[in-house]
Each structure stands twice: as structure tokens, then as C-alpha cells.
Structure 1
Amino acid sequence: ARGRVGGSLLLLGAVACLAVPLADGAAKTALLAVGFGLGGSFATVAATTVAELAPPARRGGALGTMNATVTTAGLIAPAVVGSLVDSHGAAGYQTAVVLSGVLLLLGALAAFTLIDPARDALRPSV
């Protein structure tokens, strides 16, 4: 359920972001809200998945590593979007949304294929 539910959230977010160039007005705003809202909601699924899979002695480190990795996007994204806007003007914002959609799609594919707590629970812990 974690991989499929989380992957579905990311997939729906990706579809919404990738559809932004096809929409106008209020529909564009709604797609942005749905795309980034559903994509962001995966954090809840990710935290519970990491907590379930990590051995108790390493749970805090695993959650901290996940948090550090995820929040790095907060450092990188403004520079990337700023660069896109500098080079493409206002169209750079739409390019950034499409790029976000592609990243959400890659995350969805990874979630569908890599998250399997039942399988991972059978692996010996190191």
C-alpha cells in the first residue's frame, strides 16, 4: 500500500503539473494546487515507510537522512527556477512547473518499483 498509494499521489501530481501548459486561467491555478499539493503529500507516506523499514537502532538516523535529502530541494529549487526565469523570462515559470512534473513522474515510478515493505522486511538488517 505504501508504494502504490505514495506512487499514485506522485503520479497524479505529475499529471497535473504536466497539464499546466495546456490550461488557461483558473484551470492553470487549480492544476498547480493539485500538482504540488499531491506531490507534497508524499512526505507523510515517505516518513512512515522509512520508520517502518529502518531497524529501531537506526530509525532516527534514517529519518534524519531522509529529511536532509528532501530539504536540500529547498536550497536547489530557487536557484534552478531563478535561472530558468532569467533565461526564458516569464515562460521560465512554466518550464519549472513542467520540470517539477517530470521529477514527480520519476518519483512515482521509483515508488511503484522500489517501495515494498513486505519484501524489504524479509531482508536481514545490517
Structure 2
Amino acid sequence: MSQAMGSASGLLSWWDEEFFKMEKVIMDQRFILTVGSMNGLNLRVRIGNIYVHNVDSEGDALWETLRGIFSEENVPWCIGANFNVVRYAEKRIGVESKKKPMVEFAEFIEDCGFTDLPMTRGKYT
């Protein structure tokens, strides 16, 4: 469990040890990243749980920290996150979009080679 930061409630990650065997965990107040293997599949994976506060000044340092971690080894990632930023202004309905954080976030996704999966049918995604 990652400790709370400010008024945030912290992060919690858990898994079924019969399905996922954790080898290593990297933890910060903003993320819990695990490296392990999926039992019976002979597949090593990294799973991330990330929460980014809605503070523009945190973005640069966090993106750089995560870039370094994500580039450490050639193992697939699956990330579940609330980044509190969007890549495209049209995704922020009724809220003023700030260009610098959007550009930094888009560069982060591109640099890490991530695929931004489309989320559909939900009011909040």
C-alpha cells in the first residue's frame, strides 16, 4: 500500500498469488508498480497502479521518473491509472484544457510506446 499524499487516500494493489507471482515492487506516493510472472503462462509482466494529482507542477518530474522505470527491461506493461490529464482537448468537456500538461502527457505515452486504449460506454473513463 502506498501512503496518502495530502488529502488523497493512497493506493492499494492486490493480486491472486495463484495467478500472479510478484518478484519486485516499486512504490511511491503516486504509484505502485509490480514485476512478476503469470503462473502457468510462462509470461513475465509488469503491472502498474498510478494516480497523478491534478497539479501541473508534478507532471514533468513524474513523467521522467516513470520513463526511467518503464525503460528498465523489455517486459510488457499493463497500467491502470488516473492521470488527471488528457491527450486531446476535445476529451475535456466543459473544463478548460491546459496545453502544456496535455503535450507532456502525449510525449510520455509516445516515449514509453504505450497504446492508449479507447474507453467506451462509460460516463467516466
- TM-score strictly above 0.5: no
Report which structure shows greater RCO (CA 8 Å, sep ≥6): 1
Higher helix content, 1 or 2: 1
Higher strand content, 1 or 2: 2
- From the CA coordinates, give the structure whose radius of gyration is larger: 1
